[in-house]
Chains A and B, each alone.
Chain A
Amino acid sequence: MRNSYTGWKTNDLLSLYEGFGFIIKHGGSHEVVKHPDFPRFRETISRTSHELSPGYIRDAIANLERLGLIEPEVENDNESGVTGES
């Protein structure tokens, strides 16, 4: 996942989230991903047959790390979880 951010389709990303216990809710035009253990977390994913923006995959990794569902990448130079440098 961390090695390739491109070539992902909506169903690929949904499968990834589901594998980590997330719930998929079907919205009007987007899928909404939620997790029973993190009620305030949610993410909208474009329901498209085309390829997803790599940004979706980067954000998914960040989300899984932030929620403690995967280990932060070792060579990440202490960047994970840091927001707002103002």
Chain B
Amino acid sequence: MNQELREKAKQLSFQNYAFMVEEDVLSDGSPIFLTSNPELEGCKSQGRTIDEAIFNLAEARIDYIYSLLEDGLPVPQPVITNTETGSMRDAVATIVREFKMEQSDDFEAVLSSVFQPESRVPLYTAIVEEKISAV
């Protein structure tokens, strides 16, 4: 693995990509959360909890971007401008509320490890959740 390319992929992965969380059910009836970045088509991950799924998606995003760089392909940029973003806390709170989930104790730690402190996320996430709740 090219470490220089890997580091570049990691830096690019910190950009404010929108993300989605979908709840699914495994064969034993337990919940599983599928996360994805719509702007990076095919970039997805999963987790037993929402915060685990978001953390794993951050890892997947690095691998995804690395593969683009490795192939000499352009890396899609986040499409939503800064004026259309909101706080990470608000967006996640919306998700948690819609899924009626409880945040884990180390949720803030997970978020700060995945997003840079000044990071603001697209309100797209919250908008998607509002549509779900309206159905």
Residue of B at shortest CB range from A33?
Answer: B42
Place the interface of chain A in its size category: 20 to 34
Smallest beta-carbon distance A28→chain B, Å: 6
A46 touching B46, Cβ below 8 Å: yes
Across the interface, which residues of B come within 8 angstroms of A42, CB to CB? Answer: 42, 64, 67-68
For the complex, count residues of B whose C-beta is within 8 A of A. 27
- What is the bound-complex CA distance between A25 and B32, given in angstroms? 25
B60 touching A29, Cβ below 8 Å: yes
* Interface SS of chain B: mixed
Counted as pairs of residues, one from A and one from B, with CB atoms less than 8 Å apart, the total is: 80
B34 touching A55, Cβ below 8 Å: yes
Residue of B at shortest CB range from A25?
Answer: B67
Given contacts A30-B60, A43-B43, A56-B46, 14 further A-B contacts (CB under 8 A): A28-B6, A28-B66, A30-B59, A32-B63, A33-B42, A40-B73, A44-B42, A44-B44, A44-B45, A44-B64, A55-B22, A55-B46, A59-B44, A63-B42
Q: Which residues of B contact A (CB under 8 A)?
A: 1, 6, 22, 24-27, 32-34, 42-46, 56, 59-60, 62-64, 66-68, 70-71, 73
13 residue pairs from A and B, CB less than 8 Å apart = A27-B62, A27-B64, A30-B59, A30-B64, A34-B67, A43-B44, A44-B42, A51-B26, A51-B27, A55-B22, A55-B44, A56-B44, A63-B42
